[in-house]
Structure 1
């Protein structure tokens, strides 16, 4: 039996997988508190992740009917980019600053300039620094909280921290490290010179975790933790990775031709590539957590945006969905740029949301609901277009995230992107991917269990969720897309 863990923004999920029986035996989750403040501050206490993991683990194992002592390995997925800075005793010097924190936007602008602009970032890192990445968070901590900064002994990401708590080992892997902003995504190495630009007082050889390969274990569960969880001795912990990398594994996206798209708090789009993709600064040239690369585009406002409008109108999910379905394509001329949290793609970290085309006739709850869903989805189309030839060769979009449960949204996405869309049966793809990676890592010594074979057997598609593009709707959405792009050009000079 294998366990997959996904430490996300809103909760930590735990899944118990039986690969021989090809089924999930138990699942559970526990929520996290998100601390929000002025200027885009979004932070969490790492101790909350541990408490959530322990609670969810106990419940998932109980539901599975399996003795915890039968678990062979664990894999951990984590929200990317969060800064977990530890002191010499392994305690956080400050709450973890998250991927969705935009307070550090000015520090990111300054770092990009110091590294030589977009061209300099691409040359040094294989991608362009974004506000969400770890680098600007570290620069912010150095300037705003110098006493906490002075205590730093180790720099980690959320999944690295959970691995550290489980094993006592300070390690990192290329997939999640890709989003730090001080890692070369082409050579899979830390860039000590870039870290020196961000935090000149820190010794890279001391504060950066040891890099391990994706199939290499992070370590074994510490005896004290094993006793607390009821595990046997020497349970293996795989390298783990960022939620996008493990989500790709959990959707079977380990070869070219597929796209994984998440309709979550944010929207993420990724496609496997055997080579680095460094020709577009809006595409993050991340490494995959199974080999190769996983170029990725992230938009900041998806279910976070739809939830704001839904709650503003006092609607539950079912009523919101009914209103989206009731409004026509194009929401009778209402266009929303739903940049409530700023935006990453297009690169508008300080943007705000806007509505265009409102009249006394079309300002209805149904049109507002439709417009926010269309705006979020058109933003995802904008992101998908950034992949260029890689997107043109896509055979299928595999859809995950909370929004994937909506048939209306699935069909809208198929029509807006003119692509086939289908959901995996298991939509908690990052937790499943973590469990699959754990099995792959555990079986490496026996020479079997190649990841592609595991994905073929264990990643099943929900054919009832399939949505094929409707030619008439595709044509109608091309006109809506043109209107969306005009709004981008007029308000933000994005052509």
Structure 2
């Protein structure tokens, strides 16, 4: 038996996987609190992740009906980019600033300038730094919380921190490290000169974790913690990775030809590449994969986080919200929403706010407003897919994951907006499954592809084919969306 864990923005999920039988035996989740301000601050306490892990772990094992001693390995997926700065005792010096934190936008711009602009970033890192990456958070901590900054002994990402808690080892792997902003994604090494530009007072060899390969273990579960969890001695903890990297594994996106698109709190689009990519757009990140190879990726910041705001504004449950969306026509009768409630990464608008255009005395209905926010989030993902250019050529299908993927009307909308076939894996919380698959790969060896064939099953009932009439209608809706981007933000 193998455990997969996904520590996300809103909750930590745990799945128990029977690899030999090719099935999920049990799963559970526990929520996290998010601390946020209007200035873009988005923070969490790492202790909350541990508490959520413990609760979800015991629930999942109980639901699986197994003894914890049957577990052979654990894999951790975590939200990318978060800054977990620890003191010499392994305690956080400040709450973790998250991927969606935009308080550090000015620091990101300053770091990009110090590195020589976009061209300098590409030369040194293989990608262009964006607000939300770890580098700007470290620069912010240096300037805004100097007393905490001076206590830093270790810098970890969220999944690295959970690995550290499990094993006592400070390690990192290339996939999640790609999003720090001080890692060369082509050579898969820390970029010490870039780190020195951000944090010259810190000793890079002391504070940055040791790099390991994706198939290597981070370590084994600490004996005292193993007893608390009911585990046998020597349970392996795999390298783990960022949520996007592990979701790629969990959707079988480990070879060219498949795109994984997530309708989660944020939205991500990624495709496998056997070689580093030189993107035509600075918004495409040349990330490494957590199974070998590379995972060019685009991330938008407002997907279910945006739709939830409108749904809760009207006091609707998910079923009623879906009914409102389905009852409104394509284009929401002329209404266009740019749902940038948290600022935006793609397009690069960290300080943007949400806009709603095209309201009249006739079209201002609850149904149109619900449809407008879902369309706005989906059109933003289409904008992100456009940034891939030729990287998206040869894609056979889009595999849809995340909470929004459970909605039939949203699945059809993605198919119509992108003009592509869409299908969901049976397990749409793919990052936790991917973490369990990586754990089995790390512990057993062999081919990861064989594990994906055994465990990644597609839900044929979820398949959506683009409807020609809808595709044509969305061309105009998307053109209108692009005009609003140009009018509001000067983006053509």
Same-fold call, TM cutoff 0.5: yes
Q: Pick one of 452, 461, 464 that aligns with 2:461.
A: 464
Unaligned stretches of 5+ in structure 1? none
Equivalence for 2:267: 267
Q: Could you tell me how far apart the structure 2 residues matched to 1:34 and 1:328 are?
A: 35
Q: Could you tell me how far apart the structure 2 residues matched to 1:162 and 1:110 are?
A: 31
Deviations 1:93-140 (A, max 9, x none): 000010011110110011111110000011001111111100000000
Q: Could you tell me how far apart the structure 2 residues matched to 1:288 and 1:207 are?
A: 23
Matches within 5 A, 1:66-215: 66-215=66-215
Q: Could you tell me how far apart the structure 2 residues matched to 1:264 and 1:100 are?
A: 13
Question: Is 1:316 the counterpart of 2:313 in the alignment?
Answer: no
Q: Could you tell me how far apart the structure 2 residues matched to 1:48 and 1:358 are?
A: 42
Question: Is 1:353 the counterpart of 2:354 in the alignment?
Answer: yes
Equivalence for 1:47: 47
What is the CA-CA distance between 1:313 and the residue it aligns to? 2.0
Question: Is 1:4 the counterpart of 2:30 in the alignment?
Answer: no
What is the CA-CA distance between 1:38 and the residue it aligns to? 3.2
Equivalence for 1:412: 413
Matches within 5 A, 1:212-223: 212-223=212-223
Deviations 1:145-192 (A, max 9, x none): 001000000100000000001000000000000000000000000001
SS in 2 for 1:254: coil
Q: Could you tell me how far apart the structure 1 residues matched to 2:23 and 2:313 are?
A: 40
Bigger mean CA offset, 106-115 vs 316-325? 316-325
Q: Could you tell me how far apart the structure 1 residues matched to 2:84 and 2:74 are?
A: 21
SS in 2 for 1:218: strand
Q: Could you tell me how far apart the structure 2 residues matched to 1:176 and 1:405 are?
A: 27
Q: Pick one of 465, 476, 485 that aligns with 2:482.
A: 485
Question: Is 1:296 the counterpart of 2:297 in the alignment?
Answer: yes
What is the CA-CA distance between 1:354 and the residue it aligns to? 0.7
Q: Could you tell me how far apart the structure 1 residues matched to 2:356 and 2:24 are?
A: 44
Q: Could you tell me how far apart the structure 2 residues matched to 1:402 and 1:236 are?
A: 30
Matches within 5 A, 1:338-349: 338-349=339-350
Q: Could you tell me how far apart the structure 2 residues matched to 1:377 and 1:70 are?
A: 42
What is the CA-CA distance between 1:276 and the residue it aligns to? 1.2
Equivalence for 2:330: 329
Q: Could you tell me how far apart the structure 2 residues matched to 1:38 and 1:491 are?
A: 20
Matches within 5 A, 1:8-47: 8-47=8-47
Q: Could you tell me how far apart the structure 2 residues matched to 1:319 and 1:230 are?
A: 42
Q: Could you tell me how far apart the structure 2 residues matched to 1:7 and 1:106 are?
A: 28
What is the CA-CA distance between 1:392 and the residue it aligns to? 2.2
What is the CA-CA distance between 1:308 and the residue it aligns to? 1.1
Q: Could you tell me how far apart the structure 1 residues matched to 2:314 and 2:466 are?
A: 30
Deviations 1:216-263 (A, max 9, x none): 100011101101101111111100000000000000000001010110
Equivalence for 2:306: 305
Deviations 1:443-469 (A, max 9, x none): 12xxx3x10011011100000000000
Q: Could you tell me how far apart the structure 2 residues matched to 1:381 and 1:361 are?
A: 28
Q: Pick one of 457, 469, 474 that aligns with 2:471.
A: 474
What is the CA-CA distance between 1:320 and the residue it aligns to? 1.2
Q: Could you tell me how far apart the structure 2 residues matched to 1:344 and 1:222 are?
A: 38
What is the CA-CA distance between 1:92 and the residue it aligns to? 0.5
What is the CA-CA distance between 1:55 and the residue it aligns to? 1.0
Bigger mean CA offset, 312-321 vs 138-147? 312-321
What is the CA-CA distance between 1:314 and the residue it aligns to? 2.2
Unaligned stretches of 5+ in structure 2? none
Q: Could you tell me how far apart the structure 2 residues matched to 1:377 and 1:483 are?
A: 14
Equivalence for 1:397: 398
- How many residue pairs match? The answer is 491
Q: Could you tell me how far apart the structure 2 residues matched to 1:341 and 1:36 are?
A: 10
Equivalence for 2:452: 455
Q: Could you tell me how far apart the structure 2 residues matched to 1:244 and 1:404 are?
A: 15
Deviations 1:187-228 (A, max 9, x none): 000001011000000010100000000001000111011011
SS in 2 for 1:398: strand
Deviations 1:276-297 (A, max 9, x none): 1222211011000000000110
SS in 1 for 2:159: helix
What is the CA-CA distance between 1:37 and the residue it aligns to? 1.8
Q: Could you tell me how far apart the structure 1 residues matched to 2:463 and 2:25 are?
A: 25
Q: Could you tell me how far apart the structure 1 residues matched to 2:371 and 2:60 are?
A: 37
Q: Could you tell me how far apart the structure 2 residues matched to 1:312 and 1:223 are?
A: 48
